[in-house]
Each structure stands twice: as structure tokens, then as C-alpha cells.
Structure 1
């Protein structure tokens, strides 16, 4: 997992990122917190990974 973080840091510069706000239902947020803690990563990083995978899967379907 550490290699993935190093690659992400290497390829993602400040200008490659944008900030947004997302409002989750409490139960979804709690599940994300638990998941992120289990993977020892910030929630924002976990959400980026989940959304990126969903976009990748969707593009494969089209």
C-alpha cells in the first residue's frame, strides 16, 4: 500500500486536484470512517479511491 501512496503523491500535483464538499448520511459517514481506519488512510483518500474505481468501471461498460 505504501508504494501506491508514493505513486499517488508523485503523479498528483496541487494543480491536479480540486476541492469539493460532499454531504453523507450519518450511517454512510460512519461506515466510511470505519473503513478508512481499517486501511489506515484519510477518508478523503478512501473516497477518491472509491469514486475513481466507480468511474473506471462505468467507462468500461460504455
Structure 2
């Protein structure tokens, strides 16, 4: 925001741009967290909410 003000843009416009950037960062973060939660649930859990047995086999292979 200070760079815009040094360049000569009005402070009100610089504040509007800053608010837009902060909203963009917030929405992106919330979207990524929600998407990772949904994908993790779909991949790692069965329809009863239990961990799939395949996960344990993959972990065993990775540790070796």
C-alpha cells in the first residue's frame, strides 16, 4: 500500500486495493483448506468413516 501512495495514488484507492488483496488471500486460503479436507476424506476414509486398509500398506512400504 505504501508503494502505491508513494507513486501518487490517493490513499482511499490504495486502501481499496489492499482490502481487495486481503480478501483474495482469505478466499484462496479457505478454498485450499476446504478442498484438501474434502479430498483427504474421500481418499483416506471409507463410507463408515474408518481409515482404509490400503493406507497402512502404503505407509509400511514407504518406511522400508
- The answer, yes or no, to whether TM exceeds 0.5 is no
Short-chain TM bin: 0.3 to 0.5
Structure whose residues are more often helix by fraction = 2
TM-score by length of 2: 0.37
